[in-house]
């Protein structure tokens, strides 16, 4: 298990590099590795931009997949579902955003609470269709 504190662009890069290495070592193919790395980048950039500080945890689940957890104690996300379900065009719009992460990963869960923070858990499977897709959104205003 790797835990990377995220505060700046160098930390984002570090998390992406570690994610790529772990994914390659655990048998994800190149396409899966790219999807995982892009997802780590999106979540880590969100931490830097909106929460200032947080962490990314990268965990291999043997013969299942790679799990990433992004968490922070930042401002939380008001109107979360507009970003997830409708792929709302974001203000910055430079990346794929949360809806992109949901699309690229095989499991996706997000919990956010105003002034408490945000936690995203996502998994990239090694084999297609081996788990149960879930899509849990928890929002505590
Ligand atoms: N960790 C976070 N803490 C607080 N707010 C967040 C966090 N992550 C995202 N948000 C809010 O949710 C919105 C949507 O995020 P999303 O990543 O989908 O798009 P974006 O960051 O605006 O643009 P981009 O397409 O460049 O990622 C953000 O504009 C921001 O207001
Ligand atoms: Mg973003």
Q: Give the CATH number of the domain where residue 134 resides.
A: 3.30.565.10
Rounded to whole angstroms, how far apart are CA atoms 93 and 96? Answer: 7
Substitution site in 83, 84, 99 for ligand 1 pocket (most atoms within 8 Å of beta carbon): 83
**Ligand 1: residues whose CB is within 6 Å?**
42, 46-47, 50-51, 72, 74-77, 83, 90-95, 97-98, 118
User: How many distinct helices (H) and strands (E) make up the chain?
Assistant: 4, 6
Nearest partner of 72 among 107, 111, 101, judged by Cα: 111
Q: What is the pLDDT of residue 95?
A: 75
Dist. CA 98–CA 83, nearest whole Å: 7
Determine the pLDDT at residue 88.
62
Rounded CA-CA distance 120/68 in Å is 8
The pLDDT value recorded for residue 84 is 85
CA 35, CA 37: separation in Å to the nearest integer? 6
If we measure between CA atoms, which residue out of 73, 55, 64 comes closest to residue 23?
64
- For 127, the token pair is 């084999």
Which atom of ligand 1 is closest in space to residue 75's alpha carbon? Answer: 4
In the chain (141 residues long), the average pLDDT of successive 10-residue segments reads 98 98 96 97 98 98 96 96 73 79 95 97 88 66 57
What is the Cα gyration radius of the chain? 14
Nearest protein Cα to ligand 1, atom 11 = 77
Residue 133's pLDDT is 63
pTM of the model: 0.92
Q: Which atom of ligand 1 is nearest to the CA of 77?
A: 5
Residue 90 confidence (pLDDT): 61
Report the C-alpha gap between 139 and 133 in whole angstroms. Answer: 19
Q: Measured from the CA of 47, which atom of ligand 1 is nearest?
A: 1
| Pairing verdict, β 135-140 and 107-113 | parallel
* Enclosing domain of residue 105: 2-140
DSSP 103: H
Q: How many CB atoms lie within 10 A of CB 85?
A: 12
The total domain count for the chain is 1
Q: How far is the CA of 91 from the centre of ligand 2 (A)?
A: 9
């Amino acid at each position: 298990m790797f835990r990377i504190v995220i505060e700046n662009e160098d930390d984002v890069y570090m998390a992406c590099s570690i994610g790529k290495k772990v994914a390659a070592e655990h048998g994800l193919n190149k396409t899966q590795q790219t999807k995982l790395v892009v997802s780590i980048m999106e979540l880590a950039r969100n931490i830097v931009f909106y929460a200032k500080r947080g962490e990314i945890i990268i965990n291999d689940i043997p013969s299942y997949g790679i799990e990433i957890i992004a968490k922070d104690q930042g401002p939380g996300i008001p109107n979360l579902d507009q970003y997830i379900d409708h792929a709302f065009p974001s203000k910055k719009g430079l990346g794929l955003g949360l809806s992109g992460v949901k699309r690229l990963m095989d499991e996706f869960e997000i919990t956010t609470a105003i002034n408490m923070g945000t936690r995203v858990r996502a998994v990239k499977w090694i084999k297609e269709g081996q788990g149960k897709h879930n899509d849990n959104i928890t929002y505590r205003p």
